[in-house]
């Protein structure tokens, strides 16, 4: 509301000042035009004085010559000057200047002076024309010529005096107009200054006061805002410190729990490997040796041919069963802890595993690798071997895969393992054994600070998912393991201690 009121006042004051300025400019321009017209009048009046003197001079030249016929040039000049002098007189008297196309208005005093001037003008004009007429005659009358000259000269002085009065009157009236304009300008200046004073007192001063109060309020508000911002900043910093401490504490606890889980899982895995190694050794050194002894004893029985045909058949079945038991025992012992893994490394153990699976199952299993006899440490080799063993068993038993491809590559400081099959993929609702196997593979990869990914589509075969040697896969397992260094807290990276059976 206050803003609107002061805006209206300000617009009114500016409009008034602009109006006064425009009025003053209009008056000045009008007066300048009048002044120009007055200058034309003074100029015309001055010419009349000069032309009247020129007429008197030409008249004297015409009448003083011995032969009037030789003064034709003077006659022509007198005719021209006389015509122009008469025209200027009529135009000055009427106020219409044809040469400049200007219409002026003579004052009462000017008209009165022209009334006094007319008799002299008429006499001079009449006798000048008479003189021109006489000079054109062959034998003009000298008395008539002298009479016309005397009349012209007698009235010329009065004509000049009255014309001087007219010129002075024109100049006086022009000065009066200038004084009037000066007075009007003074009035307009006074009004303008008064309006500006009122504008300063009624608009600018109150506006400055309001602006000063507003600036003061804004400054005070800014100071309060700064104080509040400072308090908020301090509170925010405290909150950030507290939040950071809380995050650090939560992260530390989470890392501790993860480390504890990894340690427990690593201990479990290490215990499993220890137990498998012990069972493998007991099967190989204990039961395996005893079964081998039984096989040798059965072969040393010499009276087998003395048995009845039925007993001989039973004895042959016993020997066959004994041989198969020995082979199965060796197979189980090898699966628990293959000697090739610790003796020759990961690649040799994988080749042995794949050849064994290729012989014992209907699936075609192949290994693609550019590695030969490189060693990567016992934890890495055991972990990758178990992952391959679990993935191949799952593909054969649960996915009914016909083709299984295993790829092992070393790029920079990481081992990349890929197991691809063309089985039916993972079921929509995984079985507990399948889930347990995936969990074991993922856990072993994490224990080695690696990554584990499986890509599958339940119940379908996906041509184009992957193609290796012409084999399309329905399931793909991707494992990446670093082979440079491992965290010291990872128990799985420590060598597995040997345990005597």
Kindly tell me the sign of the dihedral angle through the C-alpha atoms of 112, 115, 116, 121.
positive
Q: Which residue has the tokens 């307009």?
A: 188
Q: Which residue would you say has higher pLDDT here, 11 or 429?
A: 11
Evaluate whether residue 446 is within a structural domain: yes
Q: Which residue has the tokens 């003395």?
A: 306
What is the DSSP code (8-state) at residue 406?
Answer: E
Q: What is the spatial distance between Cα 220 and Cα 46, in angstroms, rounded to a whole number?
A: 78
Mean pLDDT, residues 456-467 taken together:
47
Q: What is the pLDDT of residues 402-420, one digit of tens each?
A: 889 999 999 888 999 999 9
Evaluate whether residue 302 is within a structural domain: no
Tell which residue, 498, 495, 457, 499, has the closest CA to residue 476: 457
Residue 31 structural domain? 2-215
Strand partners, 403: 364
Q: How far is CA 59 from the centre of its chain?
A: 95
Task: Give me the helices (H) in 283-338, please.
Answer: 288-299, 309-336
Q: Which residue would you say has higher pLDDT here, 370 or 275?
A: 370
Tell which residue, 393, 386, 350, has the closest CA to residue 269: 386
Angstrom CA distances, 143 to 30, 63, 139, 140, stand at: 55, 11, 12, 9
What is the DSSP code (8-state) at residue 22?
Answer: H
Kindly tell me the sign of the dihedral angle through the C-alpha atoms of 438, 442, 445, 450.
positive
Q: What is the spatial distance between Cα 441 and Cα 453, in angstroms, rounded to a whole number?
A: 10
Q: What is the pLDDT of residues 189-218, one digit of tens each?
A: 888 888 888 888 877 788 788 888 889 999
pLDDT above 70 (res 110): yes
Tell which residue, 363, 395, 137, 383, has the closest CA to residue 272: 383
User: Helix and strand tally (H, E) in the chain?
Assistant: 11, 9
Q: Which residue would you say has higher pLDDT here, 71 or 175?
A: 175
Average pLDDT, the chain: 77
Tell which residue, 457, 447, 369, has the closest CA to residue 405: 369
Last residue of a domain, which of 215, 246, 263? 215
Evaluate whether residue 272 is within a structural domain: no
Sheet of strand 451-456, all strands in order from the earlier edge strand to the far edge: 364-369, 403-411, 414-421, 475-482, 451-456
Give the chain's domain count. 2
pLDDT recorded at residue 499: 31
Evaluate whether residue 138 is within a structural domain: yes
Q: What is the spatial distance between Cα 217 and Cα 211, in angstroms, rounded to a whole number?
A: 10
Last residue of a domain, which of 192, 215, 238? 215
pLDDT recorded at residue 464: 41
Give the CATH number, domain containing residue 146. 1.20.1440.210
Which phi and psi angles does 254 have, rounded to 5°? -65, -45
Q: What is the spatial distance between Cα 6 and Cα 289, in angstroms, rounded to a whole number?
A: 116
Q: Which two tokens stand for residue 370?
A: 């550019």
pLDDT above 60 (res 500): no
Beta strand pairing call for 403-411 and 364-369: parallel
pLDDT above 60 (res 260): yes
> 35-49, 195-209, 297-311, 458-472: which has the minimum mean pLDDT?
458-472
- The three-class DSSP label of residue 105 is coil
CA atoms within 13 A on the CB side of 56: 18
Evaluate whether residue 294 is within a structural domain: no
| Radius of gyration, CA atoms only, the chain | 68
Q: What is the spatial distance between Cα 120 and Cα 122, in angstroms, rounded to a whole number?
A: 5
pLDDT above 60 (res 67): no
Q: Which two tokens stand for residue 473?
A: 């896969």
pLDDT above 50 (res 471): no
pLDDT recorded at residue 462: 44
pTM of the predicted model as reported, rounded to 2 decimal places: 0.43
Q: Give the model's confidence band at 485: pLDDT under 50 very low, under 70 low, under 90 confident, else very high.
A: very low
Evaluate whether residue 422 is within a structural domain: yes
pLDDT recorded at residue 27: 72
Give the CATH number, domain containing residue 368. 3.30.565.10
CA atoms within 13 A on the CB side of 233: 6
Kindly tell me the sign of the dihedral angle through the C-alpha atoms of 447, 453, 458, 464.
negative
Evaluate whether residue 379 is within a structural domain: yes
Evaluate whether residue 161 is within a structural domain: yes
pLDDT recorded at residue 177: 80
Last residue of a domain, which of 163, 198, 215? 215
């Amino acid at each position: 509301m206050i803003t609107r009121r002061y805006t209206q006042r300000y617009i009114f004051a500016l409009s008034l000042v602009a109006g006064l300025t425009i009025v003053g400019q209009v008056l000045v321009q009008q007066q300048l035009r009048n002044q120009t017209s007055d200058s034309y009048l003074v100029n015309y009046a001055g010419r009349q004085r000069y032309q009247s003197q020129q007429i008197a001079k030409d008249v004297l030249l015409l009448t003083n010559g011995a032969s009037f016929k030789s003064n034709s040039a003077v006659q022509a000049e007198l005719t021209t000057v006389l015509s122009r002098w008469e025209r200027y007189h009529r135009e000055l008297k009427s106020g219409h200047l044809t040469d400049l196309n200007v219409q002026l208005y003579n004052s009462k005093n000017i008209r009165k002076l022209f009334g006094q001037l007319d008799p002299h003008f008429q006499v001079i004009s009449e006798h000048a024309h008479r003189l021109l007429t006489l000079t054109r005659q062959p034998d003009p009358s000298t008395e008539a010529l002298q009479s016309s000259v005397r009349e012209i000269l007698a009235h010329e002085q009065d004509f000049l005096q009255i014309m001087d009065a007219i010129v002075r009157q024109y100049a006086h009236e022009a000065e009066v107009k200038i004084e009037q304009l000066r007075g009007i300008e003074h009035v307009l200046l006074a009004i303008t200054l008064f309006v500006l004073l009122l504008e300063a007192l009624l608009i600018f001063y109150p506006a400055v006061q309001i602006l000063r109060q507003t600036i003061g309020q804004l400054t005070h508000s800014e100071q309060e805002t700064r104080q509040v911002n400072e308090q908020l900043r301090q509170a925010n910093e405290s909150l950030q410190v507290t939040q950071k401490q809380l995050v650090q504490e939560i992260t530390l606890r989470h890392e501790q729990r993860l480390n504890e889980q990894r340690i427990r899982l690593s201990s479990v895995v290490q215990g499993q490997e220890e137990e498998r190694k012990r069972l493998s050794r007991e099967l190989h050194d204990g039961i395996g040796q005893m079964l081998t002894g039984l096989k040798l004893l059965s072969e040393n029985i010499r009276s087998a041919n003395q048995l009845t045909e039925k007993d001989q058949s039973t004895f042959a079945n016993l020997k066959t069963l004994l041989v198969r038991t020995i082979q199965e025992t060796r197979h189980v012992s090898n699966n628990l802890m293959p000697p090739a893994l610790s003796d020759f490394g990961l690649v040799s153990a994988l080749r042995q595993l794949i050849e064994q699976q290729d012989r014992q199952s209907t699936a075609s299993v192949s290994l693609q690798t550019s590695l030969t006899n490189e060693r990567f440490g016992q934890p890495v080799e055991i972990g990758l071997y178990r992952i391959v063993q679990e993935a191949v068993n799952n593909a054969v038993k649960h996915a009914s895969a016909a083709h299984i491809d295993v790829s092992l590559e070393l790029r920079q400081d990481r081992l990349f393992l890929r197991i691809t099959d063309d089985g039916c993929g993972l079921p929509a609702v995984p079985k507990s054994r399948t889930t347990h196997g995936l969990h074991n593979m993922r856990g072993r990869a994490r224990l080695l600070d690696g990554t584990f990914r499986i890509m599958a589509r339940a119940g379908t075969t996906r041509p184009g998912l992957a193609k290796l040697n012409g084999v399309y896969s329905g399931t793909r397992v991707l494992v990446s393991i670093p082979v440079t260094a491992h965290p010291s807290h990872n128990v799985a990276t420590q060598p597995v201690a040997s345990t005597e059976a």
